[in-house]
Chains A and B, each alone.
Chain A
Amino acid sequence: MTHRRWFTPWLLVAPAAVWLFVFNIWPSINTVVLAFTNAKPLGGGRFTGLANFTRVLNDDQLADALLNSIVFMVVCLPLLTMLPLLIAVLVEKKLPGIMFFRTAFYTPVVASAVVVALIWGWMLNDRGLVNGFAQWLGVIAAPIPFLTDRWLLLFSAISLTVWKGLGYYMIIYLSALGNVRRELHEAAAVDGAGPVRRFWSVTVPGVRNTMLLVSVLVSVSALRVFSELYVLSNGTGGPGGRDMSVVMLIQMYSRGFTGHLGYASALSIVLLVVTIGPMLLLLRLNRKAA
């Protein structure tokens, strides 16, 4: 009874295909369409030509947001490419209790960015743990305005992001370290190379592709930062609204009855353009791996 029904594969793949078209492909096309209109959240929207894009070019807020996103990326990139590798090397060895450490190091990844930002907001508050502790030690006389100064707020969000990302990239490195050949380490050890030397000349070259992949992932996700800045700045985008990220601007322009979906879409296209560099690199890497 080999009735191989021709439609079975289609039946199996249909739900995912519907989702692909309805929630991915169509919105991608529609983003471009909307960017040329003055659409509002409650519908409507007429074709307005390049009006949104002219506005983009003269938007000071967007200039700030882009600068913030790029500073964010430039600072996160080296930290999140190197620190998780060191931690992965640390948890790689199967010592007693190592599973506990791996799981514990991963906790910040599982927590919601909102929860994490609320916790850090409490610690970095003028009267919070960090300032309190530093004042108690006598290192500082007055509290450091972590959450009310433009750049300090940005760097607070960066520290939070790095802290939250450690475990995630640690896992990626951990699975790559398994492929670094043990014999190379032994050979290097026989040649008298110390641990630091072997880290640089055996481990690092062994995971070089993964480091590249991680750095692309870090860049793209840094450009997409939202929740951390939003929550740390209490939804205001910081002093004078100058701490927005590009995503925050998109969210802002889509809100409520006065929202400008057309302009939000134009901003989305700006976001796409700035992430396209790292993304192209990712595609190339994928192709190489395949």
Chain B
Amino acid sequence: MAAHAKSARHSGFNTITTGEKVLRYTLLLVVLAITVSPFLWQLSTSLKSLDEDIYAQTPTFLPEHPTLDNYVKVAETIPVWSYAANSLVVAVIVVAGNAVGATIAGYALAKLRFRGAKLLMGLFLATLVLPGEVTIISQYVTVRGLGLADTLVGVALPGAIGMLNVLLMRTAFQAIPPEMDEAAIIDGATAWQRLRHIGLPNVRGMLSVITIFAFIGAWDDFLWPLIVLTNPENYTLTVGLQYLNGTFSANPRLIAAGTMISFLPIVIVFAALQRFFFRGVEEGAIKG
């Protein structure tokens, strides 16, 4: 089965038999059930009303009387929408920082020659092998030193230019044929003009991949905001949800509604942009 996939891959011809097709779709549906059903179960729990027994011996996937009450109640018990707004603020700063900072640095490292570029590259690469958790405490000390402890800017700042993103953008810019730049240089274009008119149009795929990941990473992060934030008013959604879990573990419907408030936006963002993501992957954008 595996091999059939290979033999038909690059050409148009289709040697797939009906039996194999049935087998493949069956397996795909099995994996689909495994990967997606926990989310559906949670969605269903979040829509179940108080008079429905959610601990029923025979679990029902469809709520008998779907209701949005739980979503209203979460908002009454914790400021879930302002947590969501906090997460959004962090995510926007991180996305903007990476889109700009990683792009211009990646361009300079790929296309411009300057003293110290090699050393800088080495340092960028070196940071990749250091797990973030190792330096998280002294990052906290740094952020506190900047007077940003317990602020959303403090949460967003360290990730606002990701070292991996700089390297990915550099790789993308390197793939542009040097002749294009040379021609522009002869025409008298400055570095900025070349970046805008030759560079950017050619790295859109990678740019969308890094922005998608910057958004997902910032929205989903838990450990770092948990360390930086102390005042519940400043919590991001993930930290607030954990707080919700501790306080209201008696009512899984509310927790379910809370998780859906965190989960649905990110899935919508990803579903909307997945074309760019998978295209980037097929171009070999993601290499570990």
CB neighbours (8 Å) of B10 from chain A are: 182
Stretch from A59-67, A74-82, A148-156, A166-174 forming part of the interface with B: A166-174
Task: Tell me the bound Cα distance from A275 to B24 in angstroms.
Answer: 38
A265 near B137: Cβ-Cβ < 8 Å: yes
CB neighbours (8 Å) of A177 from chain B are: 6
Stretch from B62-70, B72-80, B174-182, B270-278 forming part of the interface with A: B270-278
Q: Which single member of B6, B56, B130, B282 contacts A132 (CB below 8 Å)?
A: B56
Beta-carbon contacts under 8 Å, A235-275 to B: 235, 247, 250-251, 254-256, 261, 264-265, 268-269, 271-272, 275
Task: Tell me the bound Cα distance from A188 to B241 in angstroms.
Answer: 53
CB nearest to B140 among chain A residues: A254
Q: Which single member of B5, B21, B241, B287 contacts A89 (CB below 8 Å)?
A: B5
SS class, residues of chain A in contact with chain B: helix
A9 near B113: Cβ-Cβ < 8 Å: yes
Q: Does B57 contact A (CB under 8 A)?
A: yes
Q: Does A87 contact B (CB under 8 A)?
A: yes
Interface residues on A, range: 35 or more
Known: A114-B242, A185-B7, A226-B133. A8 touches B112 (CB 8 A): yes
A268 near B137: Cβ-Cβ < 8 Å: yes
B166 near A16: Cβ-Cβ < 8 Å: yes
CB nearest to B145 among chain A residues: A43
Which of the listed residues B100, B135, B271, B281 has the most CB atoms from chain A within 10 Å of its own CB? B135
Beta-carbon contacts under 8 Å, B262-288 to A: 262-263, 266-267, 270-271, 274, 278, 281-282, 284, 286-288
Task: Tell me the bound Cα distance from A106 to B237 in angstroms.
Answer: 21
Q: Does A283 contact B (CB under 8 A)?
A: yes
The tally of residues in B whose CB lies under 8 Å from a CB in A reads 108
CB nearest to A42 among chain B residues: B144
Which of the listed residues A91, A95, A283 has the most CB atoms from chain B within 10 Å of its own CB? A95
B259 near A119: Cβ-Cβ < 8 Å: yes
Task: Tell me the bound Cα distance from A83 to B284 in angstroms.
Answer: 21
Ranked 9 nearest A-B pairs via Cβ: A16-B105, A198-B3, A112-B220, A12-B108, A30-B138, A93-B5, A9-B114, A27-B138, A185-B6
Sample (12) of A-B pairs whose CB atoms are under 8 Å apart: A90-B31, A94-B9, A112-B262, A114-B222, A114-B242, A118-B245, A172-B287, A177-B6, A193-B3, A227-B223, A254-B227, A268-B136
Residues of chain A having any CB pair with chain B under 8 Å: 1-6, 8-10, 12-13, 15-17, 19-20, 22-28, 30-31, 34, 39, 41, 87, 89-95, 99, 101-108, 110-116, 118-123, 125, 127, 129, 132-133, 135-136, 163, 166-167, 171-172, 174-175, 177-178, 180, 182, 185-186, 188-189, 193, 195-196, 198-199, 202-203, 213-214, 217, 220, 223-224, 226-227, 230-231, 234-235, 247, 250-251, 254-256, 261, 264-265, 268-269, 271-272, 275, 279, 282-283, 289
